[in-house]
Structure 1
Amino acid sequence: MNSVRDRGTSREHRRLTTAVKESLRDLNTQLSLLNRRFGGRIELKDADWTCLDLINRHGPLTPSALARQAGLHPATLTGILDRLQRAGWIVRERDPDAADRRAITVRSVRERNSELYQVLSGMNGRMDEVCARYTAAELEVIADFLRRTGTAGAESARELTD
């Protein structure tokens, strides 16, 4: 009797796991489309926007730290930083704490962030509406799931570069 129930539970778990994976694939597609349209609106390529977001969230950063976080070759990053600086999104500053006087850090121009928020306001408002439907405990589970999914993605990306 238990084995029949276990098989049914196992089958249901596999079905739900497949549904979660399919939903993540759909989410990936929709976020890719949103990022492309967002980048077009603010005149940034996908990789440029990714780097700007990383600088905004984790900066100031050295170019080598940013290259690692973005998974980009340093030479590729140089072009991205040049474009971001020309467009007024970032500044490069000498790192006063570095032993090498040529060392720099990259920081975002925070005054420009309101432009980003304005373009993303529709998505942010929709996410507020989605999250309002969940309890605090459910949101904790969702946030945990998304963090773990992000970690799994980062680990998988590293495997592909090795």
Structure 2
Amino acid sequence: MSSVQDGARWRRQQIRAVKEALRDLNIQLSLLNRQFGARVELKDADWDCLDLINRQGPLSPSALARVAGLHPATLTGVLDRLQRGGWIVRERDPDATDRRAVTVRARRERNAELYRLFSGMNAQMDQLCEDYTDAELELIADFLRRTTTAGNTATDELSSG
């Protein structure tokens, strides 16, 4: 076998290894999130929505449903649970022409509870990142952002077809 063929085979093996590692990471993060959710009584969809609200700022329910990929009726149940749990507030949108319009805002004072739960994972990640150079961390961050974009594109394709 030629060195070109060996190189191509090695590359395919490495690409497969990256994809398998991402699948393993997905499973492990799902397990971590499930444990986390059990501690604060949040279902997976509840946690996803809370994280989106925390990271993207106040959102309308329709915008949140769109970015979370949830049906509006499903989102209503999620928001009801989050509000009952004291994680979010629904506020009238003073700038909206429709007086019924609301904005969903995270109760940031509750974030300390979340940070405490994730402190172990954050410490593990800090320790792990110490093993990489600044250039390597930049490369890893770029790869993860591009992986997220690929996932968004695949999600859009699946939901539209």
Say yes or no: TM over 0.5. Answer: yes
Structure-1 residue corresponding to 2:147: 149
State the shift of 1:101 in Å.
Answer: 1.1
Structure-1 residue corresponding to 2:102: 104
- Please state whether the residue corresponding to 1:105 is helix, strand or coil: strand
Q: TM-score, normalised to structure 1's length?
A: 0.96
- Please state whether the residue corresponding to 1:93 is helix, strand or coil: strand
Structure-1 residue corresponding to 2:14: 16
> CA separation in 2, counterparts of 1:143 and 1:98?
37
State the shift of 1:6 in Å.
Answer: 2.1
Structure-1 residue corresponding to 2:127: 129
Structure-2 residue corresponding to 1:54: 52
State the shift of 1:4 in Å.
Answer: 2.5
Structure-2 residue corresponding to 1:120: 118
Q: Percent of pairs identical after alignment? A: 69
- Give the letter aligned to residue 133 of structure 2: T
User: Which has the larger displacement, 150-159 or 71-80?
Assistant: 150-159
- Give the letter aligned to residue 81 of structure 2: R
Out of 70, 88, 98, the residue aligned to residue 72 of structure 1 is 70
> CA separation in 2, counterparts of 1:87 and 1:32?
21
> CA separation in 2, counterparts of 1:103 and 1:135?
48
- Please state whether the residue corresponding to 1:106 is helix, strand or coil: strand
